[in-house]
Amino acid sequence: MESLRNFLTGPTLIFVILICALPFVFLGTSSIGSVFGGSFGTINGEDVSEADLNIASNTALQRFKSAYGNDFDFDMLDEDVRAESIKQELIVQKVLQSGARSLGFINKNTINDAKKQIVQNPQFQVNGMFDENVYEAQVNSLNYTKEDYIDLMTNLIASELYRSSLNSLSFATDHEIFELTNLLEKTSDINYIKISFDGLKKELVNTMEELNEYYNNNQYLFYSSEKRNFKYIVLDQANYKNNIEVPQEYLATRYEDYLSKFENSAQTRISHIMIEKTSYESTQLALERIKEVEELLNAGNNFSELAGIYSEDIITKDIGGDLDYFEKDIFPVEFDLGIKDLKLNEISEIIELEDTFHILKVTEINIQEPLPENQIKDELANELIETESLALMMDDFNATEEMIFDNSSIEDIADKLSKEVLISEFYTSNNYNFDISSQEVKEFLFSIDSQVNESIVIELDEKVIVMSISTIIEPSLQPYEIVAETVADLLSESKSLEKLALMENELKSIEDPDDKQIFIDAYNYVSSDVFIDVKRNSSLLPSEVLNEVFKNIPGTVINVDANNGDKYIVEINNFTNPAESDITAILDQYRSFSEERMSSKMSEIINEDAFESARVNLTNLAF
């Protein structure tokens, strides 16, 4: 669970997942349905809704997938682990949202940003343009109104602003960088004796009697792996595409729709000068102020300069009042009417809203040529073929599920769908390389619960596979002749470990340096050496040995097993700190590393504070 708490480091997972593809992230899997229901309480005073649970569940899933691969199955986890991971994500969500709200990040700007994200989301577009009907249909299917969905997106964007602001707090002082450089550049003088595991192993001789005895006493090591193969049918979307015919009249009608929408898609960039009514004692005084600006504009004064002087929109006044490109779903309808008949560089009449007065200027009109008819029709045809072929494949998928429910054999299913039954090779769990890469296929094949001739249907990205186990070959003791090499290797390894321990103890017991050297010289696989000024990142010795060296003090003798089995007996003579001038010369090389280290530490501190201080009041949750 600790890894789930590092929500300030790495990619901004919540923001990336939810802003880019929010309409399609809700899982609806048993991982939620079996755990949650009803009203869900609060965290840091923020209400926890069903949507929050769906978001938390999906984010938890994505974290596991990033660690274990895209084939990771969240539902395979123990229910307590799933629930705890979702709870962690809920706390992350609501701690960020609460912090964003307290700092005023949920405001007009983040609302406008949310609307822009929605308009720019390809999931809500048709032929590259925002379609309000598509947007409404999709958010309604998730039990949202359009306004509720904008609120949800606003909260997410504000939370991301808050998260990124926290993550930017880290920095390292020159003193901290100096101390870190001093630590990492420290050197040590050491003497060591090395016993090579491989060298020792190669010199061992095993008699036939020893080999037979080892084989007979350790037969469990020499059983063959269980082997399984399976029968399967593949439903491939690519094959269904050949059966789709695209009506020409459909393409013609859709192309006309494209042209009609394209004519209305010219982008108009606008700037404004805004007067806030609440800044004046009366609406009349505010109106007089905007009329004063209008007179100056009519007299030929520069719009951008006047915006910098008179506009009360603190966000845009310093950039000439620029509001970017006009979008109907973001700006008030009064703006749309105000610029309807304006040409480039023309200025609108005074526009009154509930709280403000505005004067608009058209600063840019971007009119593009429509794409060629053939290109649009090809895209429309491909889109239809993609949609219809998927629908046909899913019809067969649903029919297959029904037949499996009725205990139909895979041969009956193949006959019904006019498909060929294929037979896989025999696989073991450690030797599995089926053409279709799917963790779910492998898990079913080797599950202890899977039975011969039991069928299952698995939905993949663009394919569906129907499979049933055909044959299971149980493990059996392999004859000595087949595993002779393995027997010899395991016996040599076992004898090497025993002799290593004996030699280590014998070396410890020898106090006279000359006697110790005689012992070392007696074996080809034992060596000794002296290193002066060796650094902790040196390649002269294994990193696990040097790590232990720099954890100890001068005068210590340490025994370390290297990862490759080699044995090291190391005497630490002394440590030497680098000269101040040497540190100063390489200080910049450690600056970025030190800042990353501080950033990581800052994240740990903020994470701990967020989780320890979170006020969690959840109800009807089976945590």
Q: What pLDDT score was predicted for residue 311?
A: 94
Write out the H or E segment, with its range, that includes residue 188: strand 187-195
Compute φ and ψ for 452, nearest 5 degrees.
-60, 135
In order of 15, 273, 285, 417, the CA distances from 47 in angstroms are: 19, 38, 42, 49
DSSP state, residue 560: E
User: Does residue 56 sit in the same domain as residue 158?
Assistant: yes
94 shares a domain with 112: yes
Phi, psi angle pair for 617, to nearest 5°: -130, 75
Token pair of 598 as six digits: 């501080």
In a 13 Å sphere around the CA of 99, the CA atoms on its Cβ side amount to 21
Q: Answer with the one of 446, 473, 500 that is the final residue of a domain.
A: 473
The answer to whether residue 251 is domain-embedded is no
Residue 511: inside a domain: yes
pLDDT of residue 75: 73
Domain match, 195 and 294 both: no
Co-location of 54 and 95 in the same domain: yes
Is 587 among the domain residues?
Answer: no
CA distances from 400 to 455, 463, 581 (A): 10, 13, 76
Residue after which a domain boundary falls, among 347, 366, 385 = 366
Write down the residue that tokens 């978001």 correspond to: 55
- List the structure tokens of 55: 């978001």
Beta bridge partners of 232: 422, 467
Q: What is the pLDDT of residue 242?
A: 87
Residue 277 counted as domain residue: yes
Do 158 and 94 lie in one domain? The reply is yes
Please list the residues that pair with 528 across neighbouring strands. 193
- Are 569 and 441 members of one domain? no
- On whether both 490 and 458 belong to a single domain, the answer is no
Of 268, 295, 274, residue with least CA distance to 352: 274
pLDDT computed for residue 20 by the predictor: 40
Q: Are residues 310 and 413 in the same domain?
A: no
Q: Give the per-residue pLDDT at 35.
A: 37
H or E stretch including 422?
A: strand 422-423
Nearby residues of 406 by Cβ (< 8 Å), 6 or more positions away: none
pLDDT at 607: 61
**CATH number assigned to the domain comprising residue 323:** 3.10.50.40
* 155 and 56 in a common domain: yes
With respect to residue 65, please indicate whether it lies within any of the assigned structural domains. Answer: yes
The residues facing 36 across adjacent strands are 621
398 in a domain, yes or no?
A: yes
Using the 3D structure, point to which of 419, 453, 473 is the last residue of a domain: 473
For residue 602, tell me if it sits in a domain. Answer: no
Report the number of distinct structural domains present in the chain.
4
Q: Helix, strand or coil for residue 36?
A: strand
Helix spans in 522-618 (H): 543-549, 580-613
Q: Name the pTM for this structure.
A: 0.49
Rounded distance, CA 129 to CA 61, Å?
A: 31
Helix, coil or strand: residue 323: strand
Same domain, 40 and 141: yes
Residue 591 resides in a domain: no
What are the per-10-residue average pLDDT scores of the chain (623 residues)? 39 41 36 43 83 82 79 77 84 85 86 84 77 80 81 87 67 73 89 96 95 95 95 93 90 85 73 94 94 95 94 89 83 90 93 94 83 89 91 93 93 94 94 89 92 92 92 95 96 95 93 93 95 92 93 93 95 93 81 64 57 71 54
Are residues 129 and 6 located together in one domain of the fold? yes
Contact between 26 and 621 (Cβ < 8 Å): no
The answer to whether residues 212 and 65 belong to one domain is: no
- Expressed as residue numbers, the domain containing 454 is 227-241+375-473
Give the count of beta carbons closer than 10 Å to the beta carbon of residue 487: 20
